Amino acid sequence: MNIYDHKEIFRYEPYIPLVLAGHGAAMLHHFNWGWWRWGLICAAVILSLTGIWNQSRSWVMARAIILALLAIVLIAATGMTSSFFTVWCFVIAATYPIIIPSWLGFAIPVGLAAAYSAMFLVDPYPIPPLVLATRCTFMVFIGFVTHEFGKRLIRLAKSERLANTDPLTGLYNRRYFFNKGQLEFERAARYDAPLSVLLVDCDKFKEINDKYGHDAGDGVLQAVANMIRNEVRKLDVPARIGGDEFSILLPNTDAEGAKELAQRLEESAESIIIDKGGESITTSISVGIGNRGPRATSFQDVIRAADEDMYKRKDQKRQGQRAQ
């Protein structure tokens, strides 16, 4: 998983306004500035708290813009562009372009530099123009560097995602699953932790393909993949490992936990209905369970046990249908 998946890149972003608010509070306390400026500090703290429950890309952008405006207002309010409030502009210019790798990410340091240079006109203690120009240039430069770094991270994340996922279902592919499974097996063996694997096979999938066509079969696979994705935990690893076969790696899951999930998956699959030309296609799945135990000396042993259990489950279904 890369940092641009599941909002990983936004994890530490709320700490930026929190740290800057602490810096601003120290400055206000030292210079004993007016109470209303403390309101701006409180606003920065509130901004950081909003990041706890809302880390969407749009709100991260909004926080960056608001924080930049607070920095400008604080600089203007103190009348000291050469003060430590300059740190606010540099920190924002260096961090947000990598968090927002779009044109807006680079616009933030450019806007800050322009606003910062405009303070020269109203500052009662103006700093030398050359110093001001070099600060603004450096601000734009670090913004550009981190912005380009952010774009490259996104390209790397996309290529990694394409290499590790199945294009039809969006789940992990066979290569990633077995590599990850081997690592998790070694970790579980080292710490004597439980580890389980589920193998999921679509029943009568060939009949669906033959009767309704491959488009209908693809629809069934996508529906089953979405169902699996909704049922598993974030730390689980669902993958498509074959034509109509899926597998789920379950770290820190014992046999009982794996059995409960297998039952939920089979029950959920019964509610899948695919519409094909006005005709409803239903499907079912068979789930086999494999666990790390005394007999499993490798990850392949766990897979083999799950595969054998899955075929036993299929045979039980066939015998039940014949009895009816």
Quote the CA–CA distance of 119 and 116 in Å, as a whole number.
Answer: 5
Whether residue 199 is found in the same domain as residue 98: no
Whether residue 159 is found in the same domain as residue 192: no
Prediction pTM value? 0.63
Which of these three, 115, 134, 164, is where a domain ends? Answer: 164
Q: What is the CATH number of the domain that holds 190?
A: 3.30.70.270
Tell me, what amino acid is at 48? S
Whether residue 81 is found in the same domain as residue 192: no
Whether residue 183 is found in the same domain as residue 226: yes
Residue 51, both tokens: 């990041």
Whether residue 214 is found in the same domain as residue 319: yes
Determine, yes or no, domain membership for 169: no
Whether residue 153 is found in the same domain as residue 186: no
Determine, yes or no, domain membership for 2: no
* DSSP annotation string for 111-171: HHHHHHHHGGGT-SSPPPHHHHHHHHHHHHHHHHHHHHHHHHHHHHHHHHHHHHB-TTT-S
In order along its 324 residues, the chain shows pLDDT tens digits of 454 554 556 666 777 777 767 766 666 666 655 566 677 667 777 777 776 677 676 777 777 777 777 766 766 665 554 555 677 778 888 888 887 777 888 888 888 888 777 766 666 556 677 777 877 888 888 888 888 888 887 787 778 778 889 989 999 999 999 999 999 999 999 999 999 999 999 988 888 888 888 888 899 999 999 999 999 998 999 999 988 999 999 999 999 999 999 999 999 998 888 887 777 888 889 999 999 988 788 999 999 999 999 989 888 877 766 555
Whether residue 96 is found in the same domain as residue 17: yes
Whose tokens are 């899951």? That residue is 253
- Residue among 259, 258, 257, 286 nearest 270 (CA): 286
Whether residue 221 is found in the same domain as residue 295: yes
Determine, yes or no, domain membership for 182: yes
Whether residue 203 is found in the same domain as residue 59: no
Whether residue 94 is found in the same domain as residue 236: no
Q: Which residues are bridge partners to 245 per DSSP? A: 201
Q: Which residues are bridge partners to 276 per DSSP? A: 279
The rounded Cα 159 to chain-centroid distance in angstroms is 15
Q: Which residues are bridge partners to 212 per DSSP? A: none
Determine, yes or no, domain membership for 145: yes
Range of the domain at 40: 8-164
Whether residue 301 is found in the same domain as residue 246: yes
Determine, yes or no, domain membership for 76: yes
Whether residue 82 is found in the same domain as residue 125: yes
Quote the CA–CA distance of 263 and 103 in Å, as a whole number.
Answer: 48
- Check if the beta carbon of residue 101 is closer than 8 Å to that of residue 150: yes
Q: How many domains does the chain have?
A: 2
Which of these three, 105, 135, 164, is where a domain ends? Answer: 164
Quick check: helix, strand or coil at residue 248?
strand
